[in-house]
Amino acid sequence: MKSLYLLALVSMTMLFASSARADVNLPGNKKLENADFERHIMGLLGRTGCNGGSCHGSFQGKGGLRLSLFGYEPEKDFVAITRDSSARRINPIDPDSSLLLLKATGQVEHGGGMRFSKDSWVYNVFRDWIARGAPSSAGRGEVKNVTVAPNEIAFKKTGELQQILVKAQFIDGTEQDITYMCEFRTNDDAVAEVTGLGMVKSIKPGSTAIVVSYRGNVMPVRILIPMTLPPGFQYPKIAQVNYIDREVFARLKKLNMVPSDLASDVDFLRRVTIDTIGQLPTPDEIRAFLADKSADKRTKKIDELLAHPLHAAMWATKFSDITGNDTVALENPPTLRAKRSQQWHDWLRKRFQENMPYDQLVKGILTATSREEKSPEEWLESVKKIDSGIDGVGKYDTGEYANRPSLDLYWRRQVAVPTEIWGERTAAAFLGVRVECAQCHKHPFDRWTQAEYRAYANVFASLGVGISPESKKIVDKENAARKGGAKNVNQINIIGKEVYTAAPAKTYTHPDTNAYLPAKALGGPEIKLGKGIDSRVELFNWMRSPDNPFFARVLVNRIWAHYTGVGLVHPVDDFSLGNPASNDVLLDALAKDFIEHKFDFRYIEKAVLLSRTYQLSAKVNETNKFDNRNYAHSYIRPMIAEAVVDVLNSALNTTEKFGLDVRPGAKAVEVGASQLQNATLSYAFRIFGRPARTTACDCERAMEPALPQKLFLMTDPGLLQKFNDPSGRVIKLTTSKMNDTELLDELFLGTLSRLPTESDRKAFAEHRNIVSTRRELVFDTMWALINTREFILNH
């Protein structure tokens, strides 16, 4: 067998020279000599989708042919294609009658339809390979390095084309152009498109990335497409507040996009109040803010809101999502679950209120134990104290649990959680990385392999969730007393979930070799397992070290996404090779600042809120109207479900009843439980997307508008009932002595946080003529206002 294969680039004029065998014409006048199984055929199997999860890559295969998912096991696939099924799939004597080609071209019935046509170059590559006896040489396709050129494309305008070239350096030292064996996809097809052959076309001004994958190697190509400016356009000078503005505006200048103007005071006040505390400013607060003539009033307002108790509640709610505060999954008895969820929320909230350094907050979660430094006896007493504070109608934790240094509830779930799920959960929460793909196969768009997945799961091998040997005697005694003669122990509060350091359990072995696999941080160092060693401590030390590539970046990105509506890496828990940051200079700068300020959460928040970028208007101009990733204007965005509930109550000046599990008078952002007994409210939470938190993924929170939300605002009986609340805004205004002008001012300030325009006043006056009572007038106006897009969106 020949040992050297060449992929030759030849010009059109040399085509006549191609030999009958072993030279296949590729598009763009390229030629492929002697296609190699691993290098080329495997690439094509990926490109054509043959080894995808819904086709032959699925676990049971399809139609009798099973290929490795995304082609990570070329040797097995070679056997499947050339040997299995009585070797009918290939026929070197008469290549065209090979079942593989007959199926893939749809000449015989194929569940996957036609993958390529008989006259295509793909067909010819396969055919040529089969005709040469379907050779393969194991390991020939092993890749040392893949390069894409260019790895960044700055287009000049829309409608331009640019070819991406991909070269692979193989382990044997040879290098080949493998462009056509790759898959290409765009992260935003509204900005740039890419063909299957790697030709990129600029569509719309903006930025995105093209992701190139070649048999498990993933490489992004950044794309930048500027606006076309009218001749003579002078890019204005924009004032900058801090480094955030420097980086955002530098990018915008490259894109020929001019940032919007600074938001007006009322727009700023509404936006920042919703973002920080999930409420609306009251009419009086708006008036006071407008009347304040001091130059630093926005700074003062930001400081005030960041110190507001509901601000800590907002982040406790977000971190309840991130850490998976799933009420239903908490330990028995079910009657205490909602209140334990609240303890979880309270624990987080206390730390956000104190502005505890973020690394210390994570330490309290990640390295939590139940006993902490206590003896079993002391611990049992503390558990009794904590539980008695919540056990009973009308009893709410007064801070007993939140005073614990560590959040053992994070680990205390009724049903045992396998170590690999702890790996997935901690990776998503604190590293912003989704590794679940790698449970079964190498991650298709990231670096993670099955071995890395398992090695990371092994970090949690010494996590004990049960009763430790030290505590067993005393806990058994206590539980026996509690059980008495009861039949159904599920309903009794027995002590069953102590989080402790156990002797390491059986660890996962290497997926290929079945060899011992040391515990290892994700993309980090090996972590020691052993008796009495809490491996989570070393994991935490690795996470919080300044050179950890994820820890700080993920958090600043979460903060950034919270305040702008779009993460620099978006979605926020998808840090991966296939999903590069839209502005990595800014992301790096934020992370560096965060680390330099000792993980000071509120410091970063303040830097974001003070920036001109945050304070830009939502009103677009001709140059930035298409922008949705580069922060040229404030993005109009949905509110989280809790904010919707609170903002509706702000507008109606009413309160919410959350049932017996929640402290009376609580706002929605203060509620810890993911499931509530109060039906009306659960309904609102659900349709506006409060997550059940079962999967510990930010993505579980649906932020998109949907029709039921619209119908809820228009017709929900529970909501409309609030209009009749005697102390609510509608009734108060109905019975007030205000004239029409004052009435409308008050209604607008209470809902849209601004004064009515002339056209608003005119519409109101017209409506006045068709209603018969003042009550109807106020009722209808309130209904109309809360149903505007301006009301239900933050902007």
Partner 1 sequence: MARDCEGFSRRDFIKVGSAGLLGMNLPQLLSLESAARANPTPQATNRRATSVIMVWLAGGPATIDMWDLRPNAPENIRGQFHEINTSAPGIRICEHLPQMARVADKATIVRSLAHTIPSHGPATVFMTTGNRPTPATQYPALGSLVTRLMPAAAGVPPYVSFTELRNGSAGQSGYLGTAYNPFIVEGNPQPAAGARANSQTAANLRVRGITLPTGFTLEQLENRDRLLRNFDQTFQNVDRNSDVVGGLDAFHQQALEILRSDKTRNAFALDQEPMSLRNRYGMTQFGQGALAARRLIEAGVRFTTVSIGGWDTHGQNFNALSTRLLPQLDQVLSSLISDLDDRGMLENTIVYCAGEFGRTPRINNNVGRDHWARSMAVVLAGGGFRRGYAHGTTDTNGMAPATDICSPDDVASTIFNQLGIDPHTELQTPTGRPMQLFREGRVINRLIG
298-357: which residues touch partner 1 (CB under 8 A)? 328-329
Q: How far is the CB of 689 from partner 1 (least distance, A)?
A: 5
Q: How far is the CB of 212 from partner 1 (least distance, A)?
A: 17
**Three-state DSSP class for residue 793:** strand
For 114-237, where are the E strands, in sequence order? 143-149, 152-154, 161-163, 165-170, 175-177, 183-186, 192-194, 199-202, 206-214, 217-225
**What are residue 659's phi and psi, to 5 degrees?**
90, -175
Q: How buried is residue 12: exposed, middle or buried, by Cβ count under 10 Å (0-12/13-18/19+)?
A: exposed
The site string for partner 1 over 259-298 (x = CB under 8 A, - otherwise) reads ----------------------------------------
Q: How far is the CB of 261 from partner 1 (least distance, A)?
A: 15
Q: How far is the CB of 623 from partner 1 (least distance, A)?
A: 13
Reading the block at residue 685, the tokens are 């939470």
Q: How far is the CB of 752 from partner 1 (least distance, A)?
A: 8
Out of 434, 441, 612, 629, name the contact with partner 1 by CB under 8 A.
434
Counting contacts by CB under 8 A, is residue 775 touching partner 1?
A: no
Out of 402, 687, 730, 778, name the contact with partner 1 by CB under 8 A.
687
Nearer residue to partner 1 within complex by CB, 279 or 709? 709
Reading the block at residue 149, the tokens are 């050129």
- Scanning 143-151, 254-262, 600-608, 759-767 for contacts with partner 1 by CB under 8 A, the matching segment is 759-767
* Closest to 185 measured CA to CA, from 205, 214, 158, 156: 214
Out of 84, 142, 193, 470, name the contact with partner 1 by CB under 8 A.
193
Question: How many CB atoms lie under 10 A from the CB of residue 152?
Answer: 12
Q: How buried is residue 161: exposed, middle or buried, by Cβ count under 10 Å (0-12/13-18/19+)?
A: exposed
Reading the block at residue 725, the tokens are 């609340």
Out of 712, 734, 745, 778, name the contact with partner 1 by CB under 8 A.
712
Judged by CB under 8 A, the chain residues 716 through 735 that form the site for partner 1 are 716-717, 720
Q: How far is the CB of 257 from partner 1 (least distance, A)?
A: 13
Report in angstroms the alpha-carbon separations of 652 from 85, 266, 269, 778. 70, 19, 19, 11
**Three-state DSSP class for residue 52:** coil
CA dihedral 376→378→383→384, nearest 10 degrees, is 120
Counting contacts by CB under 8 A, is residue 780 touching partner 1?
A: yes
Counting contacts by CB under 8 A, is residue 637 touching partner 1?
A: yes
**Three-state DSSP class for residue 194:** strand
* Closest to 787 measured CA to CA, from 728, 717, 722, 714: 714
217 touches 170 (CB < 8 A): no
- Scanning 141-149, 289-297, 311-319, 786-794 for contacts with partner 1 by CB under 8 A, the matching segment is 786-794
- Scanning 112-120, 219-227, 389-397, 753-761 for contacts with partner 1 by CB under 8 A, the matching segment is 753-761
- Scanning 23-31, 211-219, 362-370, 756-764 for contacts with partner 1 by CB under 8 A, the matching segment is 756-764
- Scanning 176-184, 357-365, 664-672, 686-694 for contacts with partner 1 by CB under 8 A, the matching segment is 686-694
Counting contacts by CB under 8 A, is residue 783 touching partner 1?
A: yes
**What are residue 457's phi and psi, to 5 degrees?**
-60, -35
383 touches 495 (CB < 8 A): yes
Nearer residue to partner 1 within complex by CB, 237 or 487? 487
Q: How far is the CB of 641 from partner 1 (least distance, A)?
A: 9
Question: How many CB atoms lie under 10 A from the CB of residue 547?
Answer: 8
Nearer residue to partner 1 within complex by CB, 40 or 425? 425
Counting contacts by CB under 8 A, is residue 177 touching partner 1?
A: no
253 touches 224 (CB < 8 A): no
DSSP state of 526: B
* Closest to 605 measured CA to CA, from 262, 290, 323, 358: 358
Out of 101, 203, 280, 572, name the contact with partner 1 by CB under 8 A.
203
Judged by CB under 8 A, the chain residues 649 through 678 that form the site for partner 1 are 675, 677
Nearer residue to partner 1 within complex by CB, 69 or 134? 69
- Scanning 221-229, 239-247, 251-259, 702-710 for contacts with partner 1 by CB under 8 A, the matching segment is 702-710
Out of 308, 606, 767, 774, name the contact with partner 1 by CB under 8 A.
767
Q: How far is the CB of 3 from partner 1 (least distance, A)?
A: 39
Q: How far is the CB of 59 from partner 1 (least distance, A)?
A: 8
Q: How far is the CB of 564 from partner 1 (least distance, A)?
A: 14
Q: How buried is residue 512: exposed, middle or buried, by Cβ count under 10 Å (0-12/13-18/19+)?
A: exposed
Counting contacts by CB under 8 A, is residue 496 touching partner 1?
A: no
**Helix 419-430 with 309-323: angle, nearest 10 deg:** 140
CA dihedral 718→719→723→726, nearest 10 degrees, is 50
Q: How far is the CB of 688 from partner 1 (least distance, A)?
A: 7
Q: How far is the CB of 11 from partner 1 (least distance, A)?
A: 32
Cα–Cα distance measured from residue 235 to residue 253, given in angstroms and rounded to the nearest whole number: 8
Nearer residue to partner 1 within complex by CB, 98 or 564? 564
* Closest to 466 measured CA to CA, from 543, 408, 391: 408
Cα–Cα distance measured from residue 671 to residue 674, given in angstroms and rounded to the nearest whole number: 8
Q: How far is the CB of 711 from partner 1 (least distance, A)?
A: 4
For 197-276, where are the E strands, in sequence order? 199-202, 206-214, 217-225
Counting contacts by CB under 8 A, is residue 710 touching partner 1?
A: yes
Out of 376, 493, 764, 778, name the contact with partner 1 by CB under 8 A.
764
Out of 73, 436, 452, 670, name the contact with partner 1 by CB under 8 A.
436
Judged by CB under 8 A, the chain residues 547 through 586 that form the site for partner 1 are 571, 573-574
DSSP state of 40: I
The site string for partner 1 over 46-85 (x = CB under 8 A, - otherwise) reads ------xxx---xx--------------------------
Cα–Cα distance measured from residue 785 to residue 653, given in angstroms and rounded to the nearest whole number: 14
Counting contacts by CB under 8 A, is residue 706 touching partner 1?
A: yes
Give the total of residues touching partner 1 (CB under 8 A): 82
Out of 160, 372, 763, 775, name the contact with partner 1 by CB under 8 A.
763
The site string for partner 1 over 456-475 (x = CB under 8 A, - otherwise) reads --------------------
Nearer residue to partner 1 within complex by CB, 533 or 566? 566
DSSP state of 788: S
Reading the block at residue 671, the tokens are 């509620």
Counting contacts by CB under 8 A, is residue 708 touching partner 1?
A: yes
Judged by CB under 8 A, the chain residues 502 through 541 that form the site for partner 1 are none
179 touches 165 (CB < 8 A): yes
Instruction: Read off the amino acid at residue 443.
Output: H
Counting contacts by CB under 8 A, is residue 183 touching partner 1?
A: no
Nearer residue to partner 1 within complex by CB, 178 or 777? 777
